[in-house]
Structure 1
Amino acid sequence: MAREILYLKIAGIIEDQIHIGSLKTAEKLPSIRTVQKIYGVSINTVKQAFLELESKSLIQSKPKSGYYVSKTFHTKLALPSISKLHLSDKEKTPEDLISKVFNTLTDKDFTQFSLGVTDKSMLPIAKLNKGVVKMLRHLEDSGTGYEPAQGNLNLRRNVAKWSFTWDGNLTPEDIVTTSGALNSLFYCLITVTNPGDTIAIESPVYFGILQMIKSLGLHIIELPTHPTTGIAIDDLKKVLPKISACCFVTNFNNPLGSCMPDENKKELVALLTQHNIPLIEDDLYGDLFFGASRPKPCKAFDEEGIVMWCGSVSKTLAPGYRVGWVAPGKFKDKMIRKKLLHTISNPPLFQEVIADFMEHGRYEHHLRSLRNTLYNNYLQFQLCIEKHFPENTKISKPQGGFVLWLELDPTIDTAVLFDIAIQQKIGFAPGRMFTQHDQYNNCMRLNFGIKWEEKVEKSLIKLGTLIKQQLL
């Protein structure tokens, strides 16, 4: 506890110096060792203090150079607006836009700001390849046999161990493995809903979730979502009588990047427990935090088993392996029966490879590097957008993940802008893809999980120029 208070005290002193201008934008901070000597604390305490400052976008690290006061601290750009609650609006499905965007994904000449995955240069592919060879030799049947319907025991054991990073206290028996997080959500939905039921979700929301819910014959209520703190509990209370379940991305929502505070998560779980309404929690991005520690999911506050906690390595390690999991709480037995009916089992080989990677600390080592790269990319994107996009651009300030949500001038239609941008070999995700209503027409999602290089910077500058031209 003493160390925790110490690092916050040191972070507070440096933050005050930045606020009053004693430390100026782009100025280099004293080294970690210098700060250690000044305050007579451990290296780890200073590192914790610097991580705390990084999480607030007050400072940024430069490899082999040190820490600097962030250029994004005094950003001039406002946060995006919060939508209104739509209960009876006529739908306007986004399938046309989704098809257009996906049609550009195979063109290697494109700068793909539209993809929702991290660049392959950020993934430990060589180490995973070694793991595949190792498991082919190690497994009795080289991975050709069936697994139990609940899933690979080694993977479930390692996911349960990993849950201690957020006070999860899960056991291998609490986990069911799946083919990625979207498959987890699918099993959750078919386990706790029937066609005709209504689901509450965030808005804007990842279009894959929208499409899946609709395909199951379910209705959707989109809740207004704050770009920093997520949904408001009061908005949820208004629709409680109408809904059978909730499906939320509480940590670093895609596309807004919002992260619900712990107090709100506790209140949310208590409210839903009281009304016996299941919460399907997509915690796909929880490990990609920029702050000092991993944010807890709602599952950490679940005492009655109503939270179905979903995760995977698709955004952090190996998208194509399709390795995911869910802790379904009191719905576990019913979910296993559903999985047995639909899938029988998951491929054991890739589950074993991921379990082995998690087993020996390599996952945590990889995540530290990945988080640092993503955070530095975020700062580069934010600085470039502030410099080259129109001054009335609004931009999200995610505390983790790898997507940015931009709100442009109301006169800009990003569906039209997309058609112009693809002529310049630039792709992005138009805002209307992330809703079932006619809204977010002047918004876009950008992926900053791509390798920051000259081509990317030039494409981002060009996109800013195209937007300015639309305003003339």
Structure 2
Amino acid sequence: MGNPPKYQQVADRLTRLIEDGAFGPGEAAPSVRKLSRQWTVSITTVLKAYYLLEARGLLVPRPRSGFYVSNHLPSAPPEPALSDPEPDPSTVGMRELITRIVLHDTLNPKLTQLGAAHPAQELTATRHLNRIMASAARRMGDRAGLYMAPPGNKPLRQQIARHAVDAGCTLDADEIVITSGCGEAVSSCLQAVCRPGDTVAVESPICFDVFQYMENLGLKALEIPTHPRDGISLEALQFALENNSVRACLVISNFNNPLGSCIPDENKKALVRLLARHDIPLIENDIFGDIHYSTKRPNTAKAYDTDGRVLWCASFSKTLSPGLRVGWAAPGRYRSTVAWLKYSTSLASATLPQVAVAQFMAEGGYRQHLRRIRRIYRDRVAALRRAAIRFFPFDIRVTDPSGGYLLWIELPETIDALVLYKLALKEGIAITPGHLFSTGDRYRNFIRLNAANWSDAAAPAIRRLGNVINTILQGA
């Protein structure tokens, strides 16, 4: 991916100056003409940058006077601390809680959806892909209705292998197995390397989907301390491996759900080496890896795999369209097992979506689509973060992710996120309580918010949610 647009570079540079105090609240920003001359950019570029900063809440226009730094700049609260889960493996049993919260409320159109980690409907490529599928159906005729047995559509696997180069991977199309979404990929990989009763080391917190798969397979979870910026603690993981019988390790390597953490590339390399020394496979969920805010995509742990122990899983659900159900696994030495599990459980993924995504990628549509949504999600996360800082209690802790579209917020200890969740529903707001992201009661005062659907129309919902939080605090 190339550099961001010039106006965005100007906006980011001025943002840093404001954050560093070069321009204080209420002070005039440089005039458009002055900044144009000083930074050797066009007046149009400066204006677009200023309008972007106005949308972000950093600048305020004054008629006939120019732009001024807002008097209400959001402060920068600290991130949540390194997590501190229990040191022993836990039996997973979260079906009732997940069913009650996730399935009942995430599809309710009457709610402001700030909970489920779904992409924004208007930022999917569904319409374009539908046109491609219609054309492919006419071209293929009856063949469009036939099974496409594992490992799946070869042109699609070839395109995924080419795209994997951006993530540091050198893969052959035959190493890839197409699945029905990332969930099937992760679940199949767990089943390929584990047996009922085995223990799997996981980041803490981690998306509740992982616990669903583990519960279905009768596995135990050993939660490992995880940093909101750098991901899983290698020191804590090494201690856990030395003191427990661990069969596999599972991480969301790039932009963890819910933390947004991204394991640094050097740590990914060290993680792969650590697990190799203990002969433990690594299941890597990389579903958010393509939604990064920097100019370069972070590598995957798979990029440092030299002996096939890393099982890399991802999908197009967060980037193109969740309804496609097109995902994949590159399971290394476990490829034949994963392919057999795919065949023996769901036989095949739908044919036309595979054909359509392959064509979309081959035509360059996927790269162009990613360039667009990355910028939008970045701005939406920043806007939701500012709103939370403004309307929530002053002593919150909130993540500042460099990719994805999720925020993880630590509220005062007297707040029970399940109570807040129920009260928020009465206000027409869906959030996700922290209880879902651990097998224990560790994140009872945390919530996850989804910025994908953020808009000016959603701002009042954050204000109302802040009022609910403050009401709970006053009654505590």
Equivalent in the alignment of 2:175: 174
Shift in alpha-carbon separation, 1:274–1:404, aligned structure 2, 3 A: same
CA separation of 1:216 and 1:348: change in aligned 2, threshold 3 A: same
| 8 Å contact kept, 1:181–1:324 | yes
1:347 shift after superposition = 1.5
Instruction: Give, in angstroms, the shift of residue 74 of structure 1.
Output: 6.4
CA–CA separation in structure 2 for the residues paired with 1:88 and 1:323: 35
**Equivalent residue of 1:248, what SS?**
strand
| Counterpart in the other structure of 2:343 | 340
Q: Deviations over 1:271-298 (max 9, x none)?
A: 1122221100000000000112111110
Amino acid at match of 1:155: L
Aligned residue type for 1:318: S
Q: Does 1:75 align with 2:78?
A: no
CA distance in 1, matches of 2:39, 2:471: 53
Q: Which residue of 1 aligns with 2:430?
A: 427
Distance in 2 (alpha carbons) for counterparts of 1:126 and 1:68? 41
1:334 deviation in Å? 2.2
- Which amino acid in the other structure matches residue 319 of structure 2? T
Distance 2:314 2:386 in 1: 31
How many Å apart are 1:200 and its aligned residue? Answer: 0.5
CA distance in 2, matches of 1:72, 1:360: 45
Task: Tell me how far 1:340 sits from its aligned partner.
Answer: 2.1
Q: Give the counterpart of 2:257 among 249, 254, 257.
A: 254
User: Take 1:345 and 1:92, find their aligned partners in 2: how far apart are those partners?
Assistant: 29
Query: Using the alignment, how far apart are the partners of 1:152 and 1:430 within structure 2?
Result: 39
Q: Cα distance, 1:205 vs. partner?
A: 0.9
What is the root-mean-square deviation in Å for CA atoms of aligned residues? 3.3
On the 8 A contact 1:431/1:442 being kept in 2, the answer is yes
User: How far apart are residue 90 of structure 1 and its match?
Assistant: 6.9
Q: Report the equivalent of 1:471.
A: 473
For 1:314, what is the secondary structure of its paired residue?
Answer: coil
Q: Which residue of 2 aligns with 1:153?
A: 154
1:183 aligns with 2:184: yes
2: CA distance, partners of 1:308 / 1:190: 12
Distance apart, 1:14 and its partner CA: 7.0
Aligned residue in 2 for 1:413: 416
How many residues end up aligned between the 2 structures?
Answer: 448
2:229 alignment partner in structure 1? 228
> Using the alignment, how far apart are the partners of 2:295 and 2:107 within structure 1?
37
Report the Cα distance in structure 1 between the residues aligned to 2:119 and 2:149, rounded to whole angstroms: 31
**2:104 aligns to what?**
103
| 2:206–2:438 contact (8 Å) kept in structure 1 | yes
Query: Match of 2:360?
Result: 357
Deviations 1:55-101 (A, max 9, x none): xx9x99xxxxxx99999996331111332241348768444432332
- Does the CA contact (< 8 Å) of 1:94 and 1:435 recur in 2? no
Counterpart secondary structure, 2:144: coil
Distance 1:369 1:40 in 2: 26
Residues in 2 aligned to 1:29 and 1:126: alpha-carbon distance in whole angstroms? 43
1:438 CA drift (Å): 1.6
Q: Residue type of the partner of 1:126?
A: R
Query: CA, structure 1 residues 29+273, in 2 after alignment: closer, same or farther (shift >3 Å)?
Result: farther
Evaluate the alpha carbon distance shift between residue 303 and residue 360 of structure 1 in structure 2; reply closer, same or farther with a 3 A threshold: same
CA distance in structure 1 between the aligned counterparts of 2:323 and 2:346, rounded to whole angstroms: 18
Question: What code does the residue aligned with 1:311 have?
Answer: A
C-alpha distance 136-245 of structure 1, shift in aligned 2 (>3 A): same
- Which residue of structure 2 aligns with residue 300 of structure 1? 303
Change (3 A) 1:221 1:141: same
Q: Distance in 2 between matches of 1:11 and 1:458?
A: 26
Q: Post-superposition shift, 1:223?
A: 0.7
Identity across matched positions, percent: 34
Q: 2: CA distance between counterparts of 1:69 and 1:142?
A: 61
Q: Partners of 1:278 and 1:25 in 2: how far apart?
A: 52
Q: Is the 8 A contact 1:89 1:437 kept in 2?
A: no
Question: 1:170: Cα distance to partner?
Answer: 1.3
**Aligned residue type for 2:402:** Q
Structure 2 distance, partners of 1:249, 1:296, is 12
Q: Distance in 1 between matches of 2:81 and 2:195?
A: 34
